[in-house]
Structure formats: structure tokens, C-alpha cells
A and B are shown apart, each in its own frame.
Chain A
Amino acid sequence: MAELLFWPAFLAYGEAAVAYAGDARRPGSMGRLATWGVRIGWLVQTALLIAQAAHADAFPWDTWAGSLNLFVWLVVGAYLIWGCKPRFRLLGLVVMPLAALLLAISYAAGGMDVSGTSKYSSLFLGLHVGLVLAGFAGLTLAAALAALYLWQERELKRRSSTVLRFRAPSLVTLESLFARTVAFSLPVLTLGMAVGFARLRHGSELDPLIVLTVLTWALYGAFLLLRYGAGWRGRRAAYATLAGFALVVAMQLTVQTGHFG
């Protein structure tokens, strides 16, 4: 059942990605199609995750492929908050191809399976994995907003005559949004990490995943301090957000070599 739901979700995300590309070429032409692709895809993926949870004996997203599936759902869900507004459609051009690609990778690697094998309880994994992935999903979205900021800023700096064509959000809006997204995502990540640390066995070694997670947390924490404490704004803030995201990506690659269980 869950595997069957993969295809409509994948096709809807793919359709949204293509429609966003069409909309970028000719603004206004395919925006609605893209938005509906995102909405339908996300609803189908929600059904897919429910089906997985209903049929699984244990926590079904404890493998890296499973967590990728959950991660895609969280990223698209976070994007939906802004994605339906025409001014944020350029963001969809970044988010939706990535979502379709990661979902396909998750499917190919068995992320739609319903067999959980973890030695930890579902409640613990649900809280730990769920919160950490929700935090990362928020940080991914913040990175996409920061990238959009840098693109828009560059266009304005080089005085491009096409700067008004794409109707992207203003610099001030984007800057405030990526900072607020980080400010919201970091506490969620912190909570997920706290749950993980609470179950860390005495004398356990710190694996690379934990080190990277702590580094990411520290980087974003420093970013928030500088942003709200020392008035760090603009391009530097956007680069810091992207640097944090590089660590998130590194972490995803690390996760692929092991799993949460």
C-alpha cells in the first residue's frame, strides 16, 4: 500500500518542479499548477506515511532511507506555509526538484518499507528522529530562503534589468524570514537532541553524527546570537545560514553510512 502511494506523491512533486520551472520562464503561467502539485503530493505523502505507520511493527523510519522519506515530508510541509503565495514560487524552484529527487532516492533505498528493526522504543525514536528531522527541515528551508536572498541581492547589486520579472519577496522580508525560520527550528532541534542525549548510554562513544549535530547546533546558535544580539544582517547572515546547511547535508551523508537504531 505504502509503495503504491509513492508514485502519485513522486509524480505530483515532479509536476510541481516542472511547473515551477515553467513559471520561472514565464511568470504567472503555471504557478497554480505548481501549487496544486505541492499540495496534492504532500497529502499523498502524508497518506503514505500513515500507511507505513499503520502497518509497521516498529518505528518505520529508523533507516536512513526511511528518515529521508520523513525529512522530505517535513521540508515540503514547511515550504507549504509560504509556497502557496506567488512571491515565494521561486523558492519552489529550489525545494520541489530536491523533494522529488530525495523521495526517489528514499524509495530506491527501501524508505517505503514497513519493517522497523530498531532496538529502541517507537516513542523514543518518534520523538528523537521526528524532532531532529523537523529541526533540519526548518533549517533546510531557511537555507533555501537565504539562497533566494543572495540571488535577489546579487540581481539588485548588479542592477539587472530583469530584477522585477520574477516578483521574488523583498530583501528585508527574506532576511527576516530566514532568521525567524532558524529561530524556530533551532529549539526544535535542541529538543530532539536532548531526547537523544537522555538515552545515550553511559560510556558511549561520540560518533561523527553526534559531533556534526552538535557542530550544526553551535553554528546556528552563534548565528542567532549575532543576528539578534549584535545586529548581524544581510549577506553575512545569509552566508552563515548556508554554512549551517552545509553541515546538515554533511550529516545526511553521514547518516547514510549508519542508522538511528
Chain B
Amino acid sequence: MSLVLVGTSHRLSPVEVRERIAFDVDEAADLARRLADGGEAVCLSTCNRTELYFSHQDPDVAEQLAADALLGDEVELYRMRDEEAALHLFRVAAGLDSLVPGEGEILGQVREAYEAGARGPVLDRLFSEALRVGKKVRTETAIAESPSSVSSAAAALAQQVFGELTGCSVLLVGAGEVSELAARALTARGATIGAVTSRTQESAERLAEAFDARTVPFDDLGRELEQVDVVVSSTSSPEPVLSREQVPNRHGRPLFVIDLAVPRDVDPAVAELEDCYLYDIDDLQAVVRESLSGRRREAERAEAIVEQEAKRFRDWQASLHVVPAIASLRERAESIRSGELAKAEGRLEGLSESERRTVESLTTQIVNKLLHVPIVRMKEAAATEGAGYVEVARHLFGLGEDESAHKKPE
């Protein structure tokens, strides 16, 4: 059985091409089952890639099937087999082939595709290994820990001040899309949106409703600052809306202020207040840049893990070729041993039960010891030299041939 991968991704095809062969989960599952035709196939389709994985007797046939399904005449596709295909899937699951290295969503998408696909022993092993490698990379490296967007950077910085954000109250100043994105990043980490204020009451109410928060008049901003821990400001005001004088004495309680507006909403002098931490859009973008370069550094370590795991998969796949040959060799040896013992039955009649057991055990041990080295060598060679070596072993030991053809005339 060969492992075959055919697909395309954001590295090869622009979105107008990818969208032509994008499938939702049900469509991907149907396609996989139809193409597998009783065999093994999985279709992984996300916004950045569409890939078909097969375990097939004839890799050329599988490749052609996949290419037809993915409009191979019109779409540029990559084609990979065996270890290369496994390495690719492991890199995908680890987030190393994603636009943002280490992003976490892909792991769930790989799991979903696998569960919906036409599964069998090879793809079961491949995908469960891919999911394990994806988790391992995220555990053993810091690739997934740093934020990759301005809003997630703001939330990560808030955590650097408060730790767990559960119980932290947030005030949104301005009710636009930018505020909403930041609010979502903060609530995803446990924060509560306490209040929303905006010059436009209607938009403040809409956002407050979305987060189950209160609306407060814009003029009460200063009073509200006594109660909250985090302020997200993103208005289109040409003048600062929050001055140093408006920030009340916090008595040692930190206040984290995120100014996402251009021109800035918050007077830079606010940063001079003790226990007050102010980040504007440039500060956050610098954090994201640094964080992405950190992810790329971690990606080098992740690549080493992924390559090692792909080699392990290759060894496992190679061992599949050798397992039947080893079983056949053992069977043949056992049949010779038991046959020869049966022939000697007449001469062994005088032996006691214990002596018979000794003879049984002795002959078994001789056979096992004789086979030990060839079996170990077959396993090793299968990993490095492939199926050819197994064929040589079959020929040498006459495996799969009629045993009577090898019988010496008596």
C-alpha cells in the first residue's frame, strides 16, 4: 500500500483558484468516500488548502483520481507519496504550513477531516500520528503561545498585568469593529465587558447587547474608570477622549489602557501615572511583529520534531511490507520443526513426558535462534531498502512457494 497526497494550498494557488475546489465538511466526506471506493481516503479542505490523502495499492491510479477531483488540468497541484506525504501532513497539523506559524485552528480541521473520511489502518495511523505531532509541537515549543494579531496582543498584554482575566472588567470606549475585535479577544480569555460608551448611543447599545454589558454616557467616562481594570478605546475622535486628569486614583490597582485609535484617543501622559499601562496601536503592532518573529524561530525547532516523526512513520510503513514475510518465515520454520519431530516419533517413544517437553523446547529454541538475526535484518532493511529486500528474503527462503517442491528425496 502506498500513501498518496494530491492537493493545493495558499503557497501554490491564489484564493480565486482555491475557492473553486473548496468543500465544506460534508462535501469533503462525500468526496473522500466516493474516491476511496471501499479503500482509504481523507479530504482536508480549509480556507488555505484542499488536499486528498489516499492509501492505495496503485499510487498512479490514486494520483489520477485525486487530480481529476481537484481539477488538475486547471489547478496547479502538488503530488507527494509515502514519507514526503506524511511529513507534509505533520507540518500542516503542526501549523508549520499555515500563514501564521503555529496557529491552532488547523489541528481541529485535520481532526474533523480525518473523522469524516474513509478510514483504514494506514490513514488511521497517519492521521492519529499527525494529531499527536501537532500537539507535541505546541507543547514542546512556544510556537503557539505568542499573539498573532493586534487584538490578541492586547489581550495577552492584559494577561501579563492581571494573570487570569476572569473577573477583570473591561470598558469599551467607541463601539466600532475594532473595539468589538479587541473585546472578543479579551472575553475569549475570561474578561467581562462591563460597560460600553460611545458618542453614538445606538452603536453603543448594539455592542453592549452583544456582550451583555451596560451602556454609559460618554461624559461619565472618568467615573467609570474607577471600576474597570481594562479600557479599550477606538473612537474616530480627532482629539484625545481620555486625559490624565480623568483617571482617578486607583490605590495601587493596575489599569491597562489599549488605545487602538488613529489619531490617538488617550493622552500619552496617562502612561506616566503609577499602575497605569498604556499601549497604542504602534506599540501593539511592534509586539505582534516581535511575536511573529519568535514564532518563526520556534518553527525551526518544530521542523526538527516533525521530521523525526515523519521518519518514524516511514519505518512503520516499511514494516508493513515485511510483516507478512516474517509471519510466513516463522510459519514455514514451525512446520519444518513439527514435521521433523513427527517423523522421529517412533524413535522418541521411550522418552518420558518431561524429556519430550525438553526436546520440544530445545527444537523451538534452535529455530528461534536461527531466525532471530534474519528477522531483525529484514525489519531493518525494510526501513532503509524497501520492499525489494523483502522479495529477496522471500526468494531465499522460498516463502509462499509449495513446500513439497523443496523436499529432498528420502
Contact = CB atoms under 8 A, between A and B. Distances in A.
Interface of A: 26-29, 152, 156-157, 159, 161-165, 167-173, 231-235, 237
B294 to A, nearest CB: 6
Nearest to A32: B140
27 contacts: A29-B301, A152-B160, A156-B161, A157-B277, A159-B271, A159-B283, A161-B286, A161-B287, A161-B290, A162-B290, A163-B157, A163-B287, A164-B153, A164-B160, A164-B291, A165-B146, A165-B294, A170-B163, A171-B162, A172-B161, A172-B162, A172-B163, A231-B251, A232-B252, A234-B252, A234-B254, A234-B275
Contact of B162 (A163, A164, A168, A170): A170
Interface in B351-378: none
B392 to A, nearest CB: 45
B142 A27 contact: yes
Nearest to B285: A161
B156 A235 contact: no
Chain A to chain B: the 6 pairs with minimum beta-carbon distance, closest first: A233-B252, A170-B163, A161-B286, A161-B290, A159-B283, A28-B142
Interface of B: 140-142, 145-147, 153, 156-157, 159-163, 251-254, 271, 274-275, 277-279, 283, 286-287, 289-291, 294, 297-298, 301
Nearest to A237: B252
Nearest to B290: A161
Contacts of A26: 297
Given A29-B301, A159-B279, A161-B290, 20 more contacts: A26-B297, A28-B140, A28-B142, A157-B277, A159-B283, A161-B286, A163-B160, A164-B147, A164-B157, A165-B294, A167-B145, A169-B163, A170-B162, A171-B254, A172-B254, A231-B252, A233-B252, A234-B275, A235-B274, A235-B275
A157 B276 CA distance: 8
A156 B161 CA distance: 8
Contact of B146 (A29, A157, A164, A172): A164
Contact of B160 (A156, A231, A232): A156
A172 to B, nearest CB: 5
B169 to A, nearest CB: 14
A128 B37 CA distance: 81
Nearest to B163: A170
Contacts of B156: 164
B369 to A, nearest CB: 41
A161 B298 contact: no
Contacts of B157: 156, 163-164
A237 B254 CA distance: 14
A26 B297 CA distance: 9
B147 to A, nearest CB: 7
A164 B287 contact: yes
Contacts of A167: 142, 145
A243 to B, nearest CB: 18
Contact of B298 (A28, A159, A164, A235): A28
A237 B271 CA distance: 20
A173 B163 contact: yes
Contacts of A173: 163
A168 B141 CA distance: 16
Contacts of A27: 142
| Most A Cβ at <10 Å: residue of B141, B161, B278 | B161
Contacts of A159: 271, 278-279, 283, 286
A152 B140 CA distance: 24
Contacts of B146: 164-165
Nearest to B156: A164
A235 B274 CA distance: 8
Nearest to A235: B274
A157 B153 CA distance: 16
Contacts of A171: 160-162, 254
Nearest to A28: B142
A234 B287 contact: no
Contacts of A163: 157, 160, 287
B229 to A, nearest CB: 10
Nearest to B289: A161
A152 B253 CA distance: 16
A208 B147 CA distance: 53
B278 to A, nearest CB: 8
Contacts of A152: 160
A211 B324 CA distance: 84
A158 to B, nearest CB: 9
Contacts of A28: 140-142, 298, 301
Contacts of A156: 157, 160-161, 277
B28 to A, nearest CB: 35
A152 B160 CA distance: 9
Contacts of B283: 159, 161
Contacts of B297: 26
Contacts of B253: 233
Contacts of B161: 156, 170-172
B50 to A, nearest CB: 33
Contacts of B275: 233-235
